[in-house]
């Protein structure tokens, strides 16, 4: 007869990690309150939030990322609207005619993604809606705003007097140093690499950047820096001429710069330069090449250059803001993150193959 001897497992039983229900019992609230409090939802009072978060810390509670993703997917598959509003802040110092196309492209991306995620958007003007108010947070609170998207600022001398610790916030473009926020921007360095490869293949050698100084400053001089590096790359035959970056861009100064520096191609973010060149008798591409750094929402459609995908910038900003809201991250982050949208090159009639 065979005898089987079973060895009992002497290892200690596994300890179940604490759940939101455990936190709720410890804090004396419901599980729903725990879920909202851990995301810093303003519908939960500050003392209750602090009590819940203290109980969670004492128990060593950690959210399950897989479960959170499943819950989020379930919730947003339902046909419902969120009680959370998103404020989109526009700098109304932009001239209405000049700002409309590119701003509307960003807003279109924001709207499409917010609709998919279940948020409502409020469009607010910094100067008209917020600046006159002694306590602008009251306006945002009255509209149920928990998330904020800041569209590109015209200048850095105005920052709305908001209590940023109340909001999850993302900037599109480059916010001032006083607002160290997560941001979505254009991958200018990659774009200049693509442009220079294309220009070099067409036989262009002398490249010149034309942008107002403030425009470059808003972009952290990334177009200028991206071009400057090309001169020093191994095997490069390109020469980057001194840029034309006046305080105010105007035709007379542009012509003087062309005569002085003699660039073979002008690279600019200003669509009006194409018309100026024709008025000055310097016609692309016969007399000079032209590359528009943002040709998708303004300017002649026949120009060579880049599509910036500004609608994709709005979509990415909303997705990033959504993730902050789900985690309850408000205020200025310890480590701001950047999401870069890569422009893509579009051939056009303002460039030609040069004989070499």
Which sequence spans correspond to the domains of the chain? 17-56, 85-186+311-341, 188-308
pLDDT, average across residues 94-101: 68
* Residue 140 CB-density burial (10 A; 0-12 exposed, 13-18 middle, 19+ buried): buried
User: 233-264 pLDDT, tens per residue?
Assistant: 888 889 999 999 999 999 999 999 999 999 99
pLDDT, average across residues 101-112: 88
Residue 115 to residue 81: CA distance in whole angstroms: 9
Residue 172 backbone phi and psi in degrees, to 5: -105, 130
pLDDT, average across residues 206-214: 94
Is a pLDDT exceeding 50 seen at residue 35?
yes
Is a pLDDT exceeding 90 seen at residue 87?
yes
Residue 64 to residue 106: CA distance in whole angstroms: 34
Out of 17-31, 92-106, 181-195, 200-214, least confident range? 92-106
Block residue for tokens 């009255």: 142
Output the pLDDT for position 25.
85
Which pLDDT band, with edges at 50, 70 and 90, does 151 fall under? Answer: very high
Give one DSSP letter per residue of 118-130, joined into a string: T-EEEEEEIIIII
Helix axes 251-261, 272-279, angle to 10 degrees: 70
Same fold, 85-186+311-341 and 188-308: yes
CB 206 within 8 A of CB 214: no
Question: Which pair of structure tokens corresponds to residue 7?
Answer: 């060895």
User: 265-290 pLDDT, tens per residue?
Assistant: 999 988 889 999 999 999 999 999 99
Question: Which pair of structure tokens corresponds to residue 173?
Answer: 């473009």
The whole model's pTM is what?
0.75
Is a pLDDT exceeding 50 seen at residue 2?
no
Query: What percent of the chain stands above pLDDT 70?
Result: 85
Which pLDDT band, with edges at 50, 70 and 90, does 11 fall under? Answer: very low
Output the pLDDT for position 204.
96
Output the pLDDT for position 83.
54
CATH class of the domain defined by 188-308: alpha beta
Residue 111 to residue 315: CA distance in whole angstroms: 8
pLDDT, average across residues 74-86: 56
Residue 52 to residue 39: CA distance in whole angstroms: 11
- Give the DSSP H or E segment for 254: helix 251-261
Question: Which pair of structure tokens corresponds to residue 253?
Answer: 């100064």
Residue 7 backbone phi and psi in degrees, to 5: -95, 120
Residue 196 to residue 175: CA distance in whole angstroms: 28
CATH class of the domain defined by 85-186+311-341: alpha beta
Output the pLDDT for position 341.
93
Output the pLDDT for position 195.
94
Output the pLDDT for position 80.
44
CB 160 within 8 A of CB 130: yes
Arithmetic mean of pLDDT over the chain: 84
């Amino acid at each position: 007869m065979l005898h089987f001897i079973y060895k009992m497992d002497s290892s200690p039983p596994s300890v179940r990690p604490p759940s939101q229900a455990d936190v709720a019992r410890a804090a004396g609230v419901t599980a729903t309150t725990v879920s909202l409090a851990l995301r810093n939802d303003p519908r939960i009072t500050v003392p209750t939030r602090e009590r819940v978060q203290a109980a969670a810390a004492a128990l060593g509670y950690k959210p399950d990322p897989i479960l959170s993703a499943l819950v989020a997917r379930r919730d947003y598959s339902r046909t419902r609207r969120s009680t959370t509003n998103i404020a989109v802040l526009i700098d109304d110092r932009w001239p209405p005619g000049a700002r409309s196309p590119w701003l509307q492209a960003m807003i279109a991306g924001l709207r499409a993604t917010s609709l998919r995620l279940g948020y409502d958007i409020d469009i607010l003007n910094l100067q008209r809606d917020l600046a006159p108010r002694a306590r602008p947070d009251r306006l945002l609170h009255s509209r149920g705003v928990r998330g904020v998207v800041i569209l590109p600022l015209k200048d850095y001398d105005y920052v709305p007097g908001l209590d940023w610790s109340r909001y999850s916030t993302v900037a599109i473009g480059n916010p001032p140093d006083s607002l160290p926020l997560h941001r979505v921007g254009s991958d200018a360095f990659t774009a200049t690499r693509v442009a220079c490869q294309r220009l070099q293949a067409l036989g262009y050698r002398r490249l010149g950047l034309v942008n107002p100084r403030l425009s470059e400053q808003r972009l952290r001089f990334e177009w200028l820096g991206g071009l400057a590096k090309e001169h020093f790359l191994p095997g490069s035959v390109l020469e980057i001429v001194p840029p034309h970056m006046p305080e105010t861009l105007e035709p007379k100064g542009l012509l003087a710069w062309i005569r002085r520096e003699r660039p073979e191609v002008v690279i600019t973010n200003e669509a009006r330069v194409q018309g100026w060149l024709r008025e000055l008798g310097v016609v692309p591409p016969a007399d000079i090449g032209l590359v528009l750094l943002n040709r998708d929402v303004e300017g002649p459609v026949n120009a060579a250059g880049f599509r910036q995908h500004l609608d994709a910038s709005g979509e990415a900003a909303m997705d990033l803001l959504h993730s902050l809201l789900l985690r309850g991250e408000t205020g200025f982050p310890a480590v701001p993150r950047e999401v870069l949208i890569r422009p893509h090159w579009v051939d056009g009639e303002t460039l030609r193959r040069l004989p070499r």
